[in-house]
A and B are shown apart, each in its own frame.
Chain A
Amino acid sequence: MTSGEKIQNQVFFDEVRVPKTNVLGKIDDGWTVAKYLLEFERGGGAASPALQVMAEEIATVAADQPAPGGGRLLDDPAFARKLADARIRSEVLEILEYRVLAAVAGGGHPGAASSMLKVVATELSQALTELAMEAAGPRGRVYQPHATWPGGPVSDFEPPPDGYVSGEAWQAVAPLRNFNDRAGSIYAGSNEIQRNILAKAALGL
């Protein structure tokens, strides 16, 4: 990851032998199977509660941080507008998730709506991690993965012997989350692919 942590992997298969009985669905029909599976990866959960908590936490810390033009960061018009925008989108996401979960609970499957959830949730998460980094101020520039060790030890990094952390834990983790979250619009099917699916399946283009 750009944060230096090893959280995601590229996997290479070089003549790996697998029993024929392990084939899911029909041979040469893998994309249909994969898409069905991915509907649940993308649409089987609810991201909005965690994102709303994140927005709430940002609002809490921003009330104690100085704004670029003086006063509290939370009252800074540019920051407040971005935070309000993220919070509104998180409410919209919540409603979308209820719809999809209701469909699944009724025996259906998420369908193309899961692509919508994936796009909205990951872009919202990227906006929020960016806001958290903004709230962290100058501390958001400090590289200190040892403050939280989210992904285990980091290569090319020696934690300070006294374990010193500049600022608070949320400030230390803000840049790492921000960098790692850039992957959100790529993994689980890139957001471009999701938009293509939506264009075809939902809009009939």
Chain B
Amino acid sequence: MDFNLSKEQELLRDGLGRFLSTRYDLEKSRAAAKTGAGWQPDIWRGFADELGVLGAALPEDVGGISGGPVEVMVIAEALGYALGVEPHVDTVVVAGGLLRRAGGPVATALLEKVVAGTAIVALAAAESGSGEQWQDVLTVADRDGDEWVLRGSKIVAMSAPLATHLLVTARTSGGLSLFLVETDSAPTGIKSHSYRTVDDRRAADLVFDGLRLPADAQLTNPYGYTLRDRQQLLVGQRHHRIRRAGRGPDDRKLRKRLVDHCSQSTWMSGGCDSPDHLIGRAAHELRRGLVERGRAERAGQ
């Protein structure tokens, strides 16, 4: 295995290292961490505009450079060396990773802003009864007409005080979902207690008391993709089955349809580069669907 950095990765490391050694003033960043805003917006701007490091591990279609864990490592190492206080891991790695997996127009638009440095996104997942077991969620999201209504509380949401957007886990009637909350528009129904952490970062305890969100604030449903996707998928699966049985529409037509679907698909973005790939996944989904249906039928008996 080759553990050497590629030329591009070396450029990333050296460029960021140079930026930090000349521009990252330890006294200023310590002051920002201890008594200031908790971060330095001008440095963040530099990360986005001068260096382009915020998109290093995010896809090209949102303005990134499609790097991976190694790029994250290179950046984290440089920021750690400079004792950086900016919310790189929280916004780019954690929230960025969640948004990328959620897919869809809302998440994609926000990812573009993350890469451009104009949005700070933080995850609010832990609750007082959950500890580090984040799937134990008591926060609920109820549907009310075209809106979602959030009730519950989160603790120690890292970087939440700096955030323009929050990703909040909440339980719907169907299961666990991820919701997007725009905090820079100062919505009512959300109360925040901000503080410093023992490692000089910022975090907050949040209370949602009837916070109203638009329908598309639900970034993921318990199944990980939207109903429209599922219907499209079932169509694809049927075609696939028919094709395999040798009596379906011709391959070219199916392929075109699948490629179209693929390009519009939200949950498959990033993971679907060829019709064959999609067909493979469709077959997998079909098998899973049949197993689930069988299970449900057995349970119903």
Query: Taking A142-B197, A143-B197, A166-B205 as contacts, is the C-beta distance between A156 and B133 under 8 angstroms?
Result: no
Instruction: Evaluate contact between B195 and A67: CB separation under 8 angstroms.
Output: no
* Residues 168-187 (chain A) with a chain B CB within 8 angstroms: 175, 179
Task: Report the tally of A-B residue pairs with Cβ distances under 8 A.
Answer: 63
Provide the main secondary structure of the chain A interface: loop
Number of interface residues of B (CB under 8 A): 21
Residue of A at shortest CB range from B205? Answer: A166
Cβ–Cβ < 8 Å partners of B255 in chain A: none
Q: Are B203 and A156 in contact (CB under 8 A)?
A: no
Q: Which of the listed residues B131, B136, B200 has the most CB atoms from chain A within 10 Å of its own CB?
A: B131
Contacts of A73 in B (CB 8 A): 131
Report the nearest A residue to B130, measured CB to CB.
A66
Asked if A70 CB lies within 8 Å of chain B CBs, one says: yes
Q: Is the CB of A139 within 8 A of B155?
A: yes
A141 near B156 with CB under 8 A, answer yes
In the complex, what residue of chain B is closest to A69 when comparing beta carbons?
A: B133
A156 touches B34 (CB 8 A): yes
Q: Mark A141-162, 1 if CB is under 8 A from B, else 0.
A: 1111000000000001110100
CB of A143 within 8 A of CB of B205, answer no
A30 beta carbon closer than 8 Å to chain B: no
Out of A142, A158, A160, A179, name the residue touching B203 (CB < 8 Å). A142
Contact A66/B133 with A138-B155, A142-B203, A166-B155 known, Cβ cut-off 8 Å: yes
Cβ contacts under 8 Å, B193 to chain A: 160, 164, 166
Contacts of A138 in B (CB 8 A): 126, 131-132, 155-156
- Residue ID in chain B nearest A168 by CB atoms: B128
Give 1 or 0 for each of A42-68: 1 = CB within 8 Å of chain B CB.
Answer: 000000000000000000000001111
Q: Do A139 and B156 form a contact, CB below 8 Å, given A66-B136, A156-B34, A166-B193?
A: yes
Residue of B nearest to A73 (CB): B131
Size band of the A side of the interface?
A: 20 to 34
Give the docked Cα–Cα distance between A67 and B197 (Å). 22
Q: Closest B-chain residue to A174, C-beta based?
A: B198
Which residues between 188 and 221 of chain B lie within 8 Å of chain A, taking CB atoms?
Answer: 193, 195-200, 203, 205
Kindly provide the distance from the CB of B35 to the nearest chain A CB, expressed in whole angstroms: 6
Q: Does B129 contact A (CB under 8 A)?
A: yes
B: which residues have CB within 8 A of A?
A: 34-35, 126, 128-133, 136, 155-156, 193, 195-200, 203, 205
Known: A66-B131, A67-B133, A138-B155. 18 other contacts (CB 8 A): A66-B133, A66-B136, A137-B131, A137-B132, A139-B128, A141-B197, A141-B199, A142-B195, A142-B203, A143-B196, A143-B198, A143-B200, A158-B35, A164-B193, A164-B205, A166-B155, A167-B155, A175-B198
The 9 closest A-B pairs by CB, nearest first: A66-B131, A138-B156, A156-B34, A137-B131, A141-B197, A138-B126, A175-B198, A143-B196, A164-B193
